[in-house]
Amino acid sequence: MLDVLVIGDLIADIVIEVDHLPLPEDVQLASKMEMIAGGAANFAIMASRLGLRVGILDAIGNDEVGRSLIKVLERDGVMTASITMKEGKTKQTLVLVSKRGEKSFIGLIGGYTALIAPEDIKMIAESKGIYISGYSLGVEKLSSERLTALKSLEIAEKLGRYIFFDPGPLVSAIDKETLCRTIRRSNVLMLNLAEASTITGVEKPEENVKMLNKLGADVVALKLGEKGCLLFDGKKLIREYGITVDVVDPTGAGDAFNAGVIYGVIRGLDLEKVARLANIIGTLSTTRLGAGQNLPTRKEIIDFLKRSSEKELLQLFERDE
């Protein structure tokens, strides 16, 4: 049985490192160009490296980009049997990154791309839970990816599976009824302060997690960037402060954090350990360019735990070998 099945949002990121973000008629040479598994793959790869059994339910195009994505995922132990190959292009995002850390994103996503459909749903019954992001729910109402996400939520709820939800930056594009119902269904809701404030209308982190818990989420994990995180389960309010590192690129840090939260929940850790582990993993992911296959390895996490004298978390990872 899988620990978690990721629903939709599988994208290939074409990351190009440049001296500065281009101006009109600008000409410059890229210092680096790389295809990195993006979107849902960030979470899936990190969760797999932590030791969870992870699969992805989505579609790719019948093209070299899609085939490359499959290879990247399989190298990290992510199950790809639920990924359907269809006619059309694999979803892609062109990511321009300046040496100052500034970014521009150009989405290569449209009617010509391969999209998952409700009839392609499989493996939910063979999974302990599903992970879904607002990128799948915030698209057009009749989009096959959105319909697939909604159907997956219904199936998971009926079967009594975990529902892990991150509304993401498209939170304002999700219609209120769908957003509220998904939050009510969520065993774990993971989001940053700006996203939380969009839902609640308040600014203080403590007020946000309490209000979101009252909306129905069993556990709320609030990402506070360099300031750490805040977790609340209706009883305990856990604050974990930020860790000082040399930040290279924050891309994928939120996905890495989510993987740490879900790993901790599935492994039955108490809320303090969940917060500490997720905080460490999210922070480590910022120390290299890009996400996907460039996220921290299991060895790098273990080495950090050893240096930080995190004996209990270290023992957990060693038992998971």
Digit-by-digit pLDDT tens for the chain (321 residues) are: 999 999 999 999 988 889 999 889 889 988 888 888 888 999 999 999 999 999 999 999 999 999 999 999 999 999 999 999 999 999 998 888 888 878 888 887 777 899 999 999 999 999 999 999 999 998 887 689 999 999 999 999 999 999 999 999 999 999 999 999 999 999 999 999 999 999 999 999 999 999 999 999 999 999 998 899 999 999 999 999 988 777 777 778 899 999 999 999 999 999 999 999 999 999 988 877 667 788 888 888 888 888 888 888 888 877 776
Q: Can you give the pLDDT at residue 104?
A: 87
**In CATH, what number is assigned to the domain containing residue 160?**
3.40.1190.20
Q: Which residues pair with 84 in a beta bridge?
A: 59
Helix (H) or strand (E) holding 150: helix 144-159
Phi, psi of 38 (to 5 degrees): -125, -170
Query: What contacts 82, CB < 8 A, 6 or more positions away?
Result: 5, 55, 56, 57, 58, 122, 123
Domain count of the fold of the chain: 1
Helices 311-319, 298-307: inter-axial angle, 10-degree rounding: 150
Report d(CA 206, CA 231) in Å as an integer. 9
Supply φ then ψ for residue 33, to 5 degrees.
-140, 130
Asked if residue 61 lies in contact with residue 113, where contact means CB atoms within 8 angstroms, the answer is yes
The answer to whether residue 93 is domain-embedded is no
What is the rounded CA–CA span in Å between residue 53 and residue 297? 16
244 part of a folded domain: yes
- The conformation of residue 215, written as its DSSP 8-state character, comes to T
Tell me if residue 146 falls in helix, strand or coil. Answer: helix
pLDDT at 109: 73
**Domain interval for residue 261:** 4-9+40-88+116-319
In a domain, 262, yes or no: yes
Tokens of 39: 């979107």
Q: What are phi and psi of 198, to 5 degrees?
A: -60, -35
pTM for this one? 0.91
* Contact predicate 58/8, CB 8 Å: yes
Beta bridge partners of 6: 56, 131
Q: What is the pLDDT of residue 309?
A: 80
> How far is residue 39's CA from residue 136's CA, in Å, rounded to a whole number?
11
Would 195 be classed as within a structural domain?
Answer: yes
Q: What is the pLDDT of residue 310?
A: 82
**What's the pLDDT score for residue 277?**
94
161 domain-assigned: yes
Q: Evaluate whether residue 17 is within a structural domain.
A: no
Buried b (16+ CB within 10 A) or exposed e, 42-58: bbbbbbbbbbbbbbbbb
Identify whether the C-beta of residue 142 lies closer than 8 Å to the C-beta of residue 115: no
In a domain, residue 15? The reply is no
Output the furthest CA–CA distance in the chain (Å, rounded): 57
Cα angle value 296/313/166 (rounded, 5°) = 55
H helices within 244-294, ranges in order?
253-266, 271-284
Tokens representing residue 142 in the block: 């009749």
| DSSP symbol at 34 | E
Would you state the pLDDT for residue 287?
Answer: 77
| Beta-carbon count within 10 A of 169 CB | 16
- Three-state DSSP state, 81: coil
* Residue 228 forms part of a structural domain: yes
